[in-house]
Chain A
Amino acid sequence: MKITTWFKTKISGNNFLLFITIAMFILMYIAGLVIYSDQGFGNMQTLMNMLMDNAGLIIAAAGMTIVIITGGIDISIGSVIGLVCMMLAFMMEKMGMGAGASIAIVLIFGIIFGFVQGWLISYLKIQPFIVTLAGMFFCRGLTAMISVNQIAITTNKVFLGMANKNIKIPFGAIVNKRGIKLYPFIHPSVVIALITLIVVWYILKYTKFGRSVFALGGSEQSALLMGLNVRRTKLFAYVLNGFLAALAGFVFCLNTTSGFVEQARGFEMEAIASAVIGGTLLTGGVGTAIGSFFGVLIKAIIETYIRCNGTLSSWWNKIVLSALLCFFIVLQSVFASMRSKHNS
């Protein structure tokens, strides 16, 4: 009985969409276990691969969540990630810079870029989609200006070391045909992503800035009248998002170890979809970083399906994800209209 009341209080209202997402993830995972059992879907490593493939997305989705909670949006992050990868590859391969310095530079770039976008949005009050649409094309073009050819990172030992280091997980091992016990492993990128996720969760839940983000997403006018510095909060949200996008770019680059113009195209869509699927309301004011993490996992599981099912072409990734985003925003919209009817 106690559990049901707990469940009722937790599931009420805004959490409902998040619960659907978590339930959906579990169902999809079980379905995967049944359908693709012969392809090792049940291995711990499959789950770890999902995290490794999407480490960058976990970070980017967390940043996107913050921006969407303020009631805004940022569609520039895919291009920012592409640019960051290119910058890293160019600095390390063509300029011979160290990994540490290169990473520091791209992170600072992310902060500056976020600041410019945030300033235009919060101080000049230009609609976020126009600013970030321009930002999207700006970064993509800048990437091409650095180099139109692919640059692979092959010489920087420190960077490659970070990229390829296997961190063993001491459980969930499988025994292969030769009788060797194989422990599942992850790359450092996953560690960075998960730490970032926790930090963003903490910022949103336990800092004055984080709570201000929610207040201003609920009602900008009210937040202003309650004495919040709305403009500064918004600006900082975009700065933080810019930083996280750059960080996501770095993590993304750990996976690809190269830079090219078309990299991470459509990544913004994946981040927005993850956030929305994870229960973040596009109207602002509601959302959690953890929810977006589950959104990423759902996207990852779809990818794994498509990969396991060799006959489906890779275009299906984007199509299915778009369809899922569509489904969830329609669900949100229906949900919102139901609630407003119920409340009045």
Chain B
Amino acid sequence: MGTNSNNFRGGFKKLTEMRLFLPIVALILVLLVNIIKTPTFFNVSIQNGVLYGYVIDILNRSCELVILAVGMTLVIATGGIDISVGAVSALAAAICIRMLGSSYDAYAVPMGISILIGLIAGMACGAFNGFLVAKMRIQAMVATLILFTAGRGIAQLISAREIGGKMVPGQIIYVRMESFKAFGGFLPNVVVPTPFFIAAAVVIIAYLFLSKTAFGLYIQATGINSKAGRLVGINSTLITFLCYVICGLTAALAGIISSSRIYSSDANNIGLYMELDAILAVALGGNNMSGGKFSLAGSVIGAITIQALTTSLYAMGVTADQLPVYKAIVVILIVSIQSEELKRWLNSRSKKNATIKVAG
């Protein structure tokens, strides 16, 4: 055995070390399983004037997650986490829907303004998280736990409806106007679902912002070594704060799309388990969970993979309530693979054969 196998091994190692290796392999794996089970998996047709098929369904349903994963990627890159995104989604949706009202004739508040205020509410939630994490230096986990718990409660309070002359909170409010449904459904005479455009726009804007400014570099520097970042002139506090605000914005957008799909605000179920999915998407995207280097493309692929996994599991008869078990196992597997300790342990085992030479 000579250089050939070494080259092969070296090449393989390089390949596995590529940032997008893990997410792409995972996606291919999920797709393979699907195509074996359902040969018609990749078939796409046009029914009732819109695109139809498994793949379209997965892409369509993954839009909220893709949007959310963009925000979560940035937050995790700063070395934090945001577990309030699901609750913030529900909250933003509740505010938006409450403003729209459930009249058959007209919106109580014009749709544009309602959506805008929903988004602003999301950003406000993000600002709250960001203030606690960046300025008060509270662990991200605990800081975002506050809204994780309170968010849905507030959403319930907002989802109030007049019953018997009294405003009763905790109701499901339905939007009766057709035009709102387009947001999570289809625009007239367009075959591609609207959320797809929104998600694409979010990803493109994020990509442009990160590649045309130094924002991405600042986030990475903050996540890797915020002390050094400060000394070279980066305002780590502001950068971290902004990431949480962006994350809140993406959560709100995802929540509004979700509510449009069901043309109602359901404070209990909108964005349920979304935080785990978003974190999973980021982890699956090959991002370092303790902050620093990140890859937006990885997270997007990760998000689509998660949705594909979810859809496949549903197809296998797993219920929505049971789904988290599988996802939790996947999360633990991924972070275990990333674990430095595990690598060190494996290294120390393989080191016995090799002698190391280091140039000073």
Contacts and interface: CB of A to CB of B under 8 A. Distances in A.
* Touch test A–B (CB under 8 Å): yes
Interface of A: 73, 75, 120, 123-127, 129-131, 133-138, 140-145, 148, 261, 266, 268-269, 272, 276, 282, 313, 315-319, 321-323, 325-326, 329-330, 333-334
Nearest to A73: B141
Contacts of B325: 137-138, 141-142, 145
Given A73-B139, A319-B154, A333-B136, A137 B147 contact: no
B142 A282 contact: yes
Contact of A137 (B143, B150, B324, B342): B324
8 contacts: A125-B339, A129-B81, A133-B275, A137-B273, A137-B276, A141-B327, A268-B145, A326-B146
B149 interface: yes
B153 A75 contact: no
Contacts of A334: 136
A141 B323 CA distance: 6
Interface string B328-360: 110110011001111000000000000000000
Q: Is the interface of A mostly helix, strand, loop or mixed?
A: helix
B132 interface: yes
Contacts of B139: 73, 129, 282
Contacts of B106: none
Interface residues of B, number: 47
Most chain B beta-carbon contacts within 10 A, residue among A120, A131, A133: A133
A131 B332 contact: yes
Contact of B150 (A73, A134, A323): A323
A330 B128 CA distance: 12
B169 A313 contact: yes
B83 interface: yes
A282 B335 CA distance: 24
B153 A126 contact: no
B153 A120 contact: no
Contact of A318 (B83, B132, B153, B290): B153
A323 B132 CA distance: 13
Nearest to A142: B325
B123 to A, nearest CB: 18
A329 B325 CA distance: 32
Given A313-B170, A322-B146, A123 B341 contact: yes
Contacts of A140: 321, 324
Q: Which 6 A-B pairs have the closest CB atoms?
A: A144-B321, A141-B325, A322-B150, A137-B324, A138-B328, A141-B324
A130 B335 contact: yes
B319 interface: yes
B103 interface: no
A111 B290 CA distance: 28
B153 A315 contact: yes
Contact of B336 (A124, A317, A318): A124
B342 A130 contact: no
Contacts of A272: 142, 145
A145 B150 contact: no
A73 B342 CA distance: 22
